[in-house]
Amino acid sequence: MLLPDHSYVKVDSLEDCLERLRENGEKAMIVAGGTDVIFNMRLKLFDPEVVVSLRGLEELEKVEEIADGGLRIGAGARLADLAENPIINSRYPAFADSIRAVASTHIRNMATLGGNICLQTRCAYTNNSEQWREGLKTCYKTDGNICHVLKSSTKCHAINNADTPLALIVLGAVLTIQNTDGSRDVPIAEFYSEDGMDNTMLKPDEVVTFITIPEVTDRTTFLKIAPRAGMDFSIAAVAARCDGSGADVSKVTIVLGSLSTHPIVLDKPARIVSEKGLTDDAIAEAVEQVREELGELTNLFSRTVYKKRMANVIVKRALVALREM
Ligand SMILES: Cc1cc2nc3c(=O)[nH]c(=O)nc-3n(C[C@H](O)[C@H](O)[C@H](O)COP(=O)(O)OP(=O)(O)OC[C@H]3O[C@@H](n4cnc5c(N)ncnc54)[C@H](O)[C@@H]3O)c2cc1C
């Protein structure tokens, strides 16, 4: 499958990159590792006139410890490097696990953290060749006005399948977003929206430049369910965090991914175990509440009933894993 015609812009600095994005607006698309962008361009799902590459911008590849004990990671840092980073492995094990959960070693050698955070939503109907899609009416994601997954819906239900954002949400990470007008810091928990088509708060001229993770001493875990490890996107994934020790906790955070258009931060299940501790009974009660908060799940990529069951299973496993740490 050939790439559609486009011009490729290799920039020398972040300023140059931001200027190119400002000049080209909606016509431009950022490429970082390209593991998603290039593939989707070949499928003619993305058709940017200008591709602006972040490759080689050293300022976006650094990992630096910051004064208050946290870590500042450039969005262009490669996942393979981050997976080997000793600070990430010792201080943020759930984040390290989420990085290693992304695709295969080959893909992680190219893929960047920024690209994973900004990964566009996926759908079995759109992430297919142009020829395959021609057999269907265009949908919200391909300039039409229907969702093939949920025909009665007025919005797109493509799924956010990225793994690292779940761990970054439980860690309280903050994204730095820049354009030529300046920069703003946004907690990653507020970055995603419920619209499968326009899934993040990024504007066309904006770049995620840095990810800042505060110091975290709590217990954390990341788990993923996928048909084949090292190859497939998650069917369901979870990141969870708690303070205290053993079953004794006062604050638990649970984030589910790959089930919907956005990561889902569970409220009631987290409150139950925060108040009652990580006992078998409280975990069972919390798990019972999970499906109430999943929202409108679809049959996309796997059956809804299976997804609901997997969500329960993976939350239970995560809470037990936290207790045993
Ligand atoms: C076979 C296969 C399996 C995969 N499995 C997984 C998986 O299990 N889990 C998973 O999470 N992903 C998976 N992926 C998807 C993808 O490889 C990863 O998400 C990867 O981390 C994307 O990073 P990248 O640097 O290659 O992004 P790119 O492809 O370069 O970009 C992805 C998106 O992010 C935007 N972007 C990139 N960087 C920035 C930035 N700094 N600021 C603003 N926008 C930006 C791009 O414009 C594009 O929309 C898989 C891909 C393949 C081909």
Number of domain units in the chain: 2
Residue 18 lies in a domain: no
pLDDT grade, residue 231 (50/70/90)? confident
302 lies in the same domain as 280: yes
The CATH code of the domain that includes 306 is: 3.30.390.50
User: Does the Cβ of 31 fall within 6 Å of ligand 1?
Assistant: yes
Span 193-229, pLDDT tens digits: 999 999 999 999 999 999 999 999 999 999 999 988 8
d(CA 238, CA 265): 10
Ligand 1 pocket: which of 27, 29, 35, 192 to mutate (most atoms within 8 A of CB): 35
DSSP string, 296-310: S--SSSS-HHHHHHH
The verdict on 200 and 240 lying in the same domain is: no
| 105 plus 163 within the same structural domain | yes
- 185 lies in the same domain as 319: no
Question: Could you tell me if 235 and 201 lie in one domain?
Answer: no
Mutate to test the pocket of ligand 1, among 119, 126, 200 (most ligand atoms within 8 A of CB): 119
CATH code: domain of residue 69: 3.30.465.10
Is 103 in the same domain as 242? no
Q: How many A from CA of 119 to the centre of ligand 1?
A: 5
Residues 82 and 190 in one domain: yes
pLDDT tens-digit map of 44-83: 999 999 999 999 999 999 999 999 899 999 999 999 999 9
Ligand 1 center to 115 CA (angstroms): 4
- What was the pLDDT predicted at 134? 87
**Structure confidence at residue 68 (pLDDT):** 87
* Residues 196, 100 share a domain: yes
Asked if pLDDT for residue 111 goes beyond 90, the answer is yes
Distance in angstroms (rounded) separating the CA atoms of residues 130 and 109: 28
Question: Is 139 domain-assigned?
Answer: no
Per-residue pLDDT band for 1 (boundaries 50, 70, 90) equals: confident
Decide which of 170, 196, 213 is a domain's last residue: 213
Does position 251 have pLDDT exceeding 90, yes or no? Answer: yes
Distance CA 208, CA 118 (A): 8
Nearest atom in ligand 1 to the alpha carbon of residue 233 is 8
Treating both helix axes as pointing N-terminal to C-terminal, what angle do 304-324 and 280-290 enclose, rounded to 10 degrees? Answer: 150
**252, 286: one domain:** yes
With a 6 A CB cut-off, is 120 part of the ligand 1 pocket?
Answer: yes
Residue 270 reports pLDDT greater than 90: yes
Residues 276-311: tens digit of each pLDDT? 999 999 999 999 999 999 988 999 999 999 999 999
Mean pLDDT of the chain: 95
- Entry pTM: 0.97
Q: Which domain, by its residues, includes 104?
A: 58-118+159-213
Same domain, 179 and 225: no
pLDDT single digits (tens) 113-164: 999 999 999 999 999 888 899 888 899 988 899 999 998 899 999 999 999 9
Confidence of residue 230 (pLDDT cuts 50, 70, 90): confident
